[in-house]
Structure formats: C-alpha cells, structure tokens
C-alpha cells in the first residue's frame, strides 16, 4: 500500500538550500512512500472570516484537499529570526481550520531544520515542534534533525555526496518511516 508523503518547504527562494536538502531526503524514502512537494507560497494569509463567511479562497480549498490525501508530512524549514518562516506557519494555520476539521490531526511528521550557520535552525525546529504538539501530530523525536553548514553539504548540483551525512539523513528517514508505519 502506497503512503502519500507531503513535503512542505518553508523557503520560497529560488535555489533554496532548504529545498535542496529536501530533494536529497526524499530520494532516501523506500519504495511505497510517494513524496509530493506541496505548494504553500500561494496561500493567502489565514483569516478566519474567510471560513466564517463562506468566502474561502480557492488556494485554501486546494491545499486542504491535497493534505487530506496525505498519510504523513515532512517539514523542511530554514530559520528566520529564531523561528519558522511565516509561509510555513501560515500553512499550518490554513490546514488547522475551520475548527474541528484540521487536516493535521494524527498525521505523522518529521521536522528537518537547515541553516547555513552553526546553530542549525534549532529555534525554528522547536517552534515548529510546539505547533505540531498542539495540532496533535506525532513527530519523530530521535534522531533530531538540525542541519548546520548546509552550504558545505551541497555540491554545485545541490546533491549531498558525503557518505556519513547521507547515512545520518537515512537514519532520520528510517525513523520517519517507522513512525508512519505505526499509524
């Protein structure tokens, strides 16, 4: 049975290091795990009036419908000002509403934070984790996935070639796959 895996990337920049890291991770998923990069940059900022007044933007409806088809989600986030990018938080908010119809409930997840610096997106990773606890999402606990110095991990083609690094990535993917298979 195929598992549909949403891949949400919190960086919209062309050439995003975070998206390059995500591309390396999805290649490590086993057969039967089908990744889909889900667009979040087109979502209007969440406004409850849209839901309350029945004037829901088409982008909300499409995003929610896409996420309803997913079995699990992989979050890849850079760190902006010691937190998650607004686009990623907005996607969480859009998917969590209307009240009682959250697409996130009981959806297994993994969080990978990526940074060019040494702090490795620690703040973003933990801020995102706080939201996922509230949204009732089981999240991979170990190994923790804080990736610092990503520019040194990636070659000119956006590939990770260091065997030790790939082994670490695989251990994260394996923990995610185990979590997904339990749900």
The residues that bridge with 74 in the sheet, in sequence order, are 7, 110
Q: How far is CA 50 from the centre of its chain?
A: 25
Q: What is the pLDDT of residues 86-132, one digit of tens each?
A: 999 999 999 999 999 999 999 999 999 998 888 778 889 999 999 99
Mean pLDDT of the chain: 95
Percentage of the chain modeled with pLDDT above 70: 100
- CA distance readout (Å), 24 to 20, 40, 62, 137, 148: 6, 20, 27, 24, 15
Confidence of residue 156 (pLDDT cuts 50, 70, 90): very high
| The pLDDT of residue 53 | 95
Task: Please list the alpha-helical segments (H only) found in the chain.
Answer: 17-26, 48-52, 58-68, 86-95, 122-134, 150-153, 163-182
Query: For residue 179, which of 107, 123, 120 has the smallest C-alpha distance?
Result: 107
Q: What is the pLDDT of residues 32-73, one digit of tens each?
A: 999 999 999 999 999 999 999 999 999 999 999 999 999 999
């Amino acid at each position: 049975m195929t598992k549909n895996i949403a891949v949400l990337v919190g960086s919209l920049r062309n050439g995003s290091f975070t998206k390059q890291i995500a591309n390396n991770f999805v290649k490590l998923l086993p057969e039967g795990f089908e990744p889909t990069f889900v667009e979040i940059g087109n979502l209007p900022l969440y406004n409850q009036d849209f839901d309350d007044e029945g004037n829901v933007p088409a982008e909300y409806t499409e995003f929610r419908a896409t996420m309803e088809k997913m079995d699990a989600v992989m979050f890849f986030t850079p760190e902006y000002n010691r937190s998650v990018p607004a686009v990623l938080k907005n996607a969480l908010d859009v998917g969590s509403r209307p009240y009682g119809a959250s697409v996130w409930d009981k959806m297994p997840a993994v969080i990978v934070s990526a940074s060019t610096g040494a702090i490795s997106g620690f703040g973003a990773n933990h801020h995102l984790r706080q939201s996922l606890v509230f949204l009732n999402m089981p999240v991979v606990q170990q190994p923790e996935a804080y990736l610092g110095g990503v520019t040194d991990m990636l070659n000119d083609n956006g590939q990770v070639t260091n065997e030790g690094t790939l082994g670490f990535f695989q251990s994260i993917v394996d923990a995610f796959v185990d979590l997904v298979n339990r749900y």
